[in-house]
């Protein structure tokens, strides 16, 4: 990795701006999953230990109205962070101005300050201005002026060019990636760019259109690409099969044909389907790849599970992105569970989950410890798997 990392920067006595990802789920002001706060701790604790003055920036959800601001303050996150780091966190309910500047200027070495939700800058006087999410140059410059060094440790927003990542990076003397982003980039590079072979990619999810770039990029790198989920039915249609009422992207049939041709046998599709007459959690009926007119496919069937398990045997690298069916429904999660178990039980393999639904599935099913790496950033890891440049990383100084 050619980007400067936290260990290569002297932070002692410096004001260090850190972009973290505290976009955690809140219910009635209570955090229901603090994974993202935990993920930021190694970087924060390193800065405390090395006597930096720590200024944390994060967004929380989307802000579209003044009313959103009352529900999306980072105040509860400051309280949770205090518990997690075991020391006081100064919370400033502002994103700019005299109060914030004065609080930063009185920070002592090793102290932590969290400023208000960066996306509050997206709405001014009830007007949507998107200063944060459209990377307003003045805002990026202003935030950069508050510190000496910038650390980007928010992988979840690395695929976006915002004022709080790219804007600050471009206007500050020194920048680096934090430990979380460093680990993500190293793991994704090992799983996607420098895989040990045989390399099997598993791609699921609802739509071909969401994963075009991933299939494109991985066709040149993987030895096999297993395709499941709703997108499989567009491939079935491309092969001339009847897909009943299943999800179909008619405008992507030609593209699916093109991929099948280009893949030269690399693409492995399901050979049966678990179906229902409507989108409901009911006991499934099963069919081969030709579905009756009155049903929709909601998961891969038992024969496909066996086939996919066989195709995974002996894999040295596996990258998985997207579920095999509607895994939120008890009756249609078998495919996703089986694939998850098969990957988790591979011996001596590098196993990577590219965030999003597949990460949620693996964690829910209790396989978190069984994978080499589960990405914390769905969108960012997806774009990495597509071979795209991540603006939040690109803007950081090179070594």
- Judge contact between 11 and 175, C-beta under 8 A: no
370 is in an annotated binding site: no
| Helical H segments across 8-92, by residue range | 35-49, 66-71, 75-85
150 is in an annotated binding site: no
**C-alpha span between 342 and 33 (Å, rounded):** 27
61 is in an annotated binding site: yes
Backbone angles phi, psi at 134, to 5 degrees: -105, 15
197 is in an annotated binding site: no
Structure tokens at 181: 């982003």
Segment holding 206, helix H or strand E: none
Closest CA to 158 of 384, 387, 397: 384
- Judge contact between 298 and 332, C-beta under 8 A: yes
Structure tokens at 287: 């069919």
**C-alpha span between 172 and 151 (Å, rounded):** 11
322 is in an annotated binding site: no
Q: Which of 3, 4, 36, 224 is catalytic?
A: 36
101 is in an annotated binding site: no
211 is in an annotated binding site: yes
Handedness of CA 90, 94, 96, 98 (dihedral sign): negative
**C-alpha span between 243 and 251 (Å, rounded):** 15
19 is catalytic: no
- Judge contact between 300 and 272, C-beta under 8 A: yes
Q: Which of 178, 301, 356, 377 is catalytic?
A: 356
96 is in an annotated binding site: no
Q: Which of 13, 110, 213, 379 is catalytic?
A: 379
60 is in an annotated binding site: yes
21 is in an annotated binding site: yes
Give the list of residues 6+ apart from residue 94 with CB closer than 8 angstroms, or none. 100, 115, 116
Greatest CA span in the chain, whole angstroms? Answer: 70
328 is in an annotated binding site: yes
356 is catalytic: yes
**C-alpha span between 171 and 129 (Å, rounded):** 21
36 is catalytic: yes
29 is catalytic: no
Q: Which of 45, 96, 183, 207 is catalytic?
A: 207
Alpha carbon dihedral 99, 102, 104, 109, in 10-degree steps, equals -140
Annotated binding site: 21-23, 36, 59-62, 119, 160, 211, 297, 328, 355-358
Q: Per the annotation, where are the binding residues for substrate?
A: 21-23, 36, 59-62, 119, 160
Residues of the binding site for ATP: 211, 297, 328, 355-358
Give the residue numbers annotated as catalytic, written as ranges. 36, 207, 356, 379
Residues flagged as binding site for (2R)-3-phosphoglycerate: 36, 119, 160
């Amino acid at each position: 990795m050619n980007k400067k990392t936290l260990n290569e920067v002297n932070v002692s006595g410096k004001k260090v701006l850190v972009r973290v990802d505290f976009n955690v789920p809140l219910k009635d002001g209570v955090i229901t999953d603090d994974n993202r706060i935990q993920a930021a701790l190694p970087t924060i604790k390193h800065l405390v230990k090395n006597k930096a003055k720590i200024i944390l920036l994060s967004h929380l959800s989307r802000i579209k109205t003044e009313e959103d601001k009352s529900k999306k303050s980072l105040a509860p996150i400051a309280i949770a962070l205090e518990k997690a780091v075991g020391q006081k966190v100064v919370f400033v309910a502002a994103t700019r101005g005299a109060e914030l500047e004065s609080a930063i200027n009185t920070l002592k070495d090793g102290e932590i300050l969290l400023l208000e939700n960066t996306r509050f800058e997206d709405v001014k006087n009830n007007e949507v201005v998107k200063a944060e999410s459209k990377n307003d140059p003045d805002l990026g410059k202003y935030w950069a002026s508050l510190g000496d060094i910038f650390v980007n440790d928010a992988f979840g927003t690395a695929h976006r060019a915002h004022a709080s990542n790219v804007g600050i990076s471009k206007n500050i003397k020194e920048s680096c990636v934090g430990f979380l982003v460093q680990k993500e980039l190293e793991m994704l590079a090992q799983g996607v760019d420098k895989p040990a072979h045989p390399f099997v990619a598993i791609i699921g999810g609802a739509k071909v259109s969401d994963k075009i770039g991933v299939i494109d990029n991985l066709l040149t790198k993987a030895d096999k690409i297993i395709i499941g989920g709703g997108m499989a039915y567009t491939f079935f249609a491309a092969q001339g099969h009847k897909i009943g009422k299943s999800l179909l992207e008619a405008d992507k049939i030609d593209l699916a044909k093109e991929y099948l041709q280009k893949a030269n046998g690399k693409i492995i599709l399901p050979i049966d389907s678990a179906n229902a007459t409507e989108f409901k959690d009911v006991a499934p009926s099963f069919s081969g790849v030709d579905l009756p007119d009155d049903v929709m496919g909601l998961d891969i069937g038992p024969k496909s599970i066996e086939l996919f398990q066989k195709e995974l045997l002996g894999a040295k690298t596996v990258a998985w992105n997207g579920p095999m069916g509607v895994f939120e429904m008890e009756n249609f999660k078998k495919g996703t569970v089986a694939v998850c178990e098969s990957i988790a039980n591979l011996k001596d393999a590098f196993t990577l989950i590219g965030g999003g639904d597949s990460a949620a599935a693996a964690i829910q099913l209790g396989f978190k410890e069984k994978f080499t790496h589960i990405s914390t950033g769905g969108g960012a890891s997806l774009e990495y798997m597509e071979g795209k440049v991540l603006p939040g990383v690109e803007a950081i100084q090179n070594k």
